[in-house]
A = this chain, B = another copy of it.
């Protein structure tokens, strides 16, 4: 449908993309719901945060690249995965509270990596320039968490955090580079996910931070 004149880099693996997206959606929904519990919200506020955290990044990406209506609105599997994540936190909160911090950090890094790779892949499929497809991967990864923080009236952690959005951008860039070097979609995706996940986990464990302007 879309003329592919400009770009040699494409993705084209709808099933892989869907599977990655749904797993990432579930993981992020669990995280968003836990932020809701900490902020003392009721079940509907919890579901709203689950939905926004899990699907907000993808919706922003889809609107920006012209994939309208967004997947999350066309395909009931997305909100179903998000609400399932919310329901588990709500009904099994005593269990969720026992989950160790390190497991949550690891799941979050996994969700970030999945979304960054899926976001960049989808942007390529919509004929977006690789430079901007990398940005779209970053937005897909951090957009939902940003909306969550805005709704909770706090400065988005992505603006302050140690290497987080940077890991998403690096993963998206690695995947696009691999595709350009003619790797198959599954291989390129694995590379992108691995780069983002490794960077994020290393940053957490070694307390990496990005530089700031001195004197502030």
How far apart are the CA atoms of A129 and B131 in the complex, in Å?
Answer: 34
> Shortest Cβ distance from A198 into chain B, in angstroms?
18
Residues from 30 to 79 in A contacting B, C-beta threshold 8 Å: 36-46, 48-49, 59, 63-66, 68-70, 73-74, 76, 79
How far apart are the CA atoms of A65 and B73 in the complex, in Å?
Answer: 7
Shortest Cβ distance from A147 into B: residue: B150
Task: State whether A42 touches B76 (Cβ < 8 A).
Answer: no
Q: Which of B42, B63, B165 contacts A212 (CB 8 A)?
A: B42
Task: State whether B79 touches A128 (Cβ < 8 A).
Answer: no
A104-146 vs B, CB cutoff 8 Å, 1 = contact: the mask equals 0000000000000000000000101101100110000000001
Question: Of A15-23, A153-161, A173-181, A182-190, which stretch is located at the interface?
Answer: A153-161
In the assembly, how many copies of this chain are there? Answer: 3
- Asked if A1 is an interface residue, CB under 8 A from chain B, the answer is no
Q: Which of B59, B152, B214 contacts A155 (CB 8 A)?
A: B152
> Shortest Cβ distance from A86 into chain B, in angstroms?
11
Give the chain B neighbours of A129 by CB distance below 8 A: 74, 76
Task: State whether A44 touches B210 (Cβ < 8 A).
Answer: yes
Shortest Cβ distance from A153 into B: residue: B155
Give the chain B neighbours of A152 by CB distance below 8 A: 155
Q: Which of B42, B64, B154 contacts A153 (CB 8 A)?
A: B154
Could you list which residues of chain A lie within 8 angstroms of chain B, going by C-beta atoms? 36-46, 48-49, 59, 63-66, 68-70, 73-74, 76, 79, 89-90, 93, 126, 128-129, 131-132, 135-136, 146, 150-156, 158-160, 165-166, 209-216
